[in-house]
Amino acid sequence: MSTRAENRAAAAHHKVAAARRFPNEALLLVPAVIFVVATVVYPLLYNISQSFFDIGIAEIVSGAGKWVGFENYADQLQRPEFWAALGISVSYTAATVVLSVIVALLLAQLFQLNIPGRDYMRALILLAWIIPTVISANVWRWLLDGSYGLLNGMLRMFGIIDGDVFWLGEPVTAFIAVVAASVWTFAPLGMILLTAGLQSIPHSLYEAAMVDGASRWQRFLNITVPALKPVLYTTAFLLFIYTFKTFDTIFLMTGGGPGGATKILPVYAYEQAFIFFKFGKAAVATTILLVIPTVLSILYFHSIKKEERS
């Protein structure tokens, strides 16, 4: 048999084998598909469908809510509380993500330096991400308490404040406090992701730049930042998702207060569903919570694909 004929035969054999393998491979996917449909797709669709029904406790148990079309949306979209919650969610998320990325980048850069005890410090900082929120949020609450909080104790010691300052009792400071607590939690995660990114930048680039006389700042600006850009985007995107869905930190620290100043959309939805038992209205809020990250994800993946193609 000539070599060409042999190749043709081999190719034909592969084709047949692939065709024979295909149904089996598809079958192998079935458990994963069932799992994803049952645990992700179904709850999401169920949530969206709820937003079109008038649903109280009775209806959620019987499964027979009254179809109201877009009435829940009309009701929610004309409520200042809803828009306030959405606005607070967006500003809280933006502030937390930007600050977390900056802090994470600084930490990651710091730990690139060969300082003693570096690994231990990195592990310690990571604890902030690992500690259950129910603990960290309460610790923050105690730290920031106006009367017996550690922060005020220190500020008083240095003569910076005189009386009690209730950080969680004023809208602006409460907002800053929940952002600070969230940055404290999320920055270590960002640090780990960015460290991995930093370590993948070849040293030779820095060495070459040094030979050319580039300063530390120039090296950071012209080598680190461009090389790290994809990882930075990914980190920011991940932190956006984590932050936008945050519930426990704020629920435990402020309960959404004072006066709704930290009532982000998840807390608003929780209140509607599990305190006021208005599930249809809560579903509107959770659907919005679903739509915003989804749209951003699509844009994000689209831009990644575009970048890869280019």
Partner 1 sequence: MIEHNARRRAVAFRSIWATVGVVGLAATLVGCGTEAPESAEGGTEAPESAEGTTISFWQYYGDTTMPQGVPLYDFIKRYEDSHEGVNVDVRYIPYDDFYRTVIQSAAAGDAPDITLVNSLDTTSLAQAGLIQDLSDRVDEWGEKDAYFPGIWETTQYDGATYGIPHLADAYGIYYNKTLLDDAGLTPPKTWDEMEKTAAELSVDGRHGLAASGIEGVEGSTPLIIRTLAEGAEPTELDSAAGATALDSFQGMVDSGALSEGFLTWIEDDVASQFGTGEAAMMLNSATYISILREQYPDLDWSVSLLPEGSESRTTWLAAENLTISASSEYGDEAWDLITFMQDPDELAVYLPARNKLPARNDVPDETGDPVRATFSEQLEDSWAPTGDMAPVANEVFTLVQSALQQKLSGGDTDKVLKDVQAKIDEAISG
Tokens of 132: 């259950």
Comparing CB distances to partner 1, the nearer of 34 and 58 is: 58
Which candidate, 211, 212, 205, places its Cα nearest to that of 227? 205
* Helical spans, DSSP H, in 164-273: 171-199, 203-211, 216-219, 225-244, 248-253, 265-270
Kindly report whether the peptide bond that precedes residue 31 is cis, defined as omega within 30 degrees of 0. no
47 forms part of the interface with partner 1 (CB under 8 A): yes
Q: Are strands 66-67 and 53-54 parallel, antiparallel or unpaired?
A: antiparallel
303 forms part of the interface with partner 1 (CB under 8 A): no
273 forms part of the interface with partner 1 (CB under 8 A): yes
Q: What is the largest CA-CA distance in the chain?
A: 97
Asked if residues 165 and 155 have their Cβ atoms less than 8 Å apart, the reply is: yes
Tell me how far, at minimum, the Cβ of 154 lies from partner 1, in Å.
16
Comparing CB distances to partner 1, the nearer of 11 and 160 is: 160
- Which of 200, 215, 218, 222 binds partner 1 (CB under 8 A)? It is 200
Which candidate, 278, 266, 248, places its Cα nearest to that of 85? 266
242 forms part of the interface with partner 1 (CB under 8 A): yes
151 forms part of the interface with partner 1 (CB under 8 A): no
176 forms part of the interface with partner 1 (CB under 8 A): no
CA 220 from centroid of its chain's CA atoms: 26
Which candidate, 167, 186, 184, places its Cα nearest to that of 175? 167
Asked if residues 178 and 253 have their Cβ atoms less than 8 Å apart, the reply is: yes
Number of chain positions touching partner 1 (CB under 8 A): 69
Tell me how far, at minimum, the Cβ of 6 lies from partner 1, in Å.
34
Part in contact with partner 1 (CB under 8 A); list of ranges 8-16, 25-33, 112-120, 236-244: 236-244
304 forms part of the interface with partner 1 (CB under 8 A): yes
Question: Applying CB under 8 A, which residues contact partner 1?
Answer: 36, 39-40, 43-44, 47, 56-58, 60-63, 145-148, 163-164, 166, 168-169, 171, 193, 196-197, 200-202, 204, 227, 230-231, 234-235, 237-238, 241-242, 244-245, 247, 251, 254-260, 266, 269-271, 273-277, 286, 289-290, 293-294, 297, 300-301, 304, 308
